[in-house]
Amino acid sequence: MTDSPVLLITGAGSGIGAATARHVVTAGWRVALAARSQDMLEALASELGGEDTAISVKCDVTSWDDQQAAVAAALEAFGRLDASLANAGVGAKRGFLEETVEHWKAMIDTNVYGCALSIRAALTHFRGQNAGHMLLTGSVAGRRALPGSLYSATKWAVTAMGEGLRAEVADSPLRVTLIEPGMVDTPFFDDRPSGALAPDDVARAVVYAVSQPAHVDVNEILVRPVNQPL
């Protein structure tokens, strides 16, 4: 697999990130798994075949040093980086009188600032090689305002970053894809939802996007459970 393409995934320890890692490795990719939970990452990397196929990188996405180190680790381990998925995210209860203000700040820092740092860290490398694919995990909540949802506002920001990045790199062959899941059954929820997507459903959307020919840029993928109305 020494010539296989490489995907860096933040928030890779569980949920959509871990599922995506499993699916892209099956599709012939190698992965750099980045998250704060080193134990979960190391177990997943071992499951996926070890250092020839998957590496783990401890990364707080709100740290610029950590984001740069994750890109550097992927390049050192595999000699290339072809795509990056900014997937790390934090949720919050709806209602502007809910949650603590400290939780709000942590969510904004992770979902907005962290996503921007992921873009910046990968873009430096992608610009240098004049090739690359930036993927962002947005949400249905980034397409419509949910009642009392600051989380929704953070995902609107991710949508805007995707559009802004696509416009910025229009002079190059770089690609940008916004993945917008509806309700997904992941540890993101305290009360696990029924009738939701599985993380594997979203992972298959990522595989579709990164598997297209170089001249095809899948701008957005909106994927929802059957009968989710909005």
Active site residues: 151
**Distance (Å, rounded) from C-alpha 122 to C-alpha 33?**
14
Question: Which residue type does 87 have?
Answer: N
Q: Go through the chain and tell me how many residues it has.
A: 230
| First and final C-alpha spacing in the chain | 41
Question: Which residue type does 179 have?
Answer: I
Say how far residue 147 (Cα) sits from the centre of its chain. Answer: 25
Q: In the chain, count of helices (H) and strands (E)?
A: 7, 7
* CA-wise closest residue to 54 among 74, 79, 76: 74
Question: Which residue type does 100 have?
Answer: T
- The answer to whether the beta carbons of residues 164 and 206 sit under 8 Å apart is no
- The answer to whether the beta carbons of residues 60 and 84 sit under 8 Å apart is no
- The answer to whether the beta carbons of residues 10 and 114 sit under 8 Å apart is yes
Question: Which DSSP symbol is given to 140?
Answer: G
